[in-house]
């Protein structure tokens, strides 16, 4: 997914939010099973950070503390660890596990387990993060 496409996608999301500020909450209520799976991967604290992240990203956007949050810290650290492991040859970059695309990125289902990654191309990586079924672009 190109930078332009990403911007387009973000723009669509922004419009949805403007139309319905409770979109994410309602979506969660409509998809209880998704969050059951999600809870298995994430502790309560992680969910809180994630909610906070989305509130900041799609919500009022009034503070900049997101860069200091543990969520960002762990994500950065996890990606650094992958970078080091790859460079040292202790880990191998694999093709996207969905489409087989060679240009893959490491996706962490849980940032507190930095070595547990799923390899995904940019497009499928973003899908994994947004996992909104109606968002098939
Ligand atoms: Zn892919
Ligand atoms: Zn990811």
| Ligand 2 mean position, distance from CA 134 (Å) | 20
| Ligand 2 mean position, distance from CA 61 (Å) | 22
What stretch of H or E contains 59?
A: none
Residues of the chain with pLDDT > 70, as a percent, come to: 77
pLDDT digits (tens, 9 = 90+) for 49-70: 777 777 776 655 455 565 557 7
C-alpha dihedral, 21 to 107 to 48 to 34, nearest 10°: 70
| Ligand 2 mean position, distance from CA 57 (Å) | 16
- pLDDT at residue 8, rounded to an integer: 86
Alpha helical stretches, state H, the chain: 3-19, 23-30, 32-41, 44-58, 70-88, 122-130
Measure the CA–CA gap between 24 and 16, rounded to whole angstroms.
10
Q: What is the pTM of this model?
A: 0.47
| Ligand 2 mean position, distance from CA 128 (Å) | 7
pLDDT digits (tens, 9 = 90+) for 89-127: 999 999 999 999 999 999 999 888 999 999 999 999 999
| Ligand 1 mean position, distance from CA 95 (Å) | 8
Measure the CA–CA gap between 93 and 104, rounded to whole angstroms.
7
Domain boundaries, the chain: 3-130
């Amino acid at each position: 997914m190109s930078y332009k496409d990403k911007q387009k996608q973000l723009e669509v999301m922004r419009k949805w939010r403007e139309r319905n500020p409770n979109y994410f909450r309602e979506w969660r209520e409509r998809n209880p099973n998704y969050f059951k799976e999600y809870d298995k991967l994430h502790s309560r604290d992680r969910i809180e950070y994630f909610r906070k992240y989305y509130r900041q990203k799609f919500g009022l956007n009034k503070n900049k503390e997101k860069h200091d949050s543990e969520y960002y810290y762990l994500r950065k650290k996890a990606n650094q660890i992958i970078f080091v492991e790859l460079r040292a040859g202790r880990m191998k970059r694999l093709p996207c596990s969905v489409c087989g695309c060679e240009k893959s990125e490491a996706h962490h289902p849980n940032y507190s387990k930095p070595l547990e990654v799923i390899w995904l191309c940019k497009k499928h990586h973003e899908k994994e993060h947004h996992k909104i079924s109606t968002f098939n672009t």
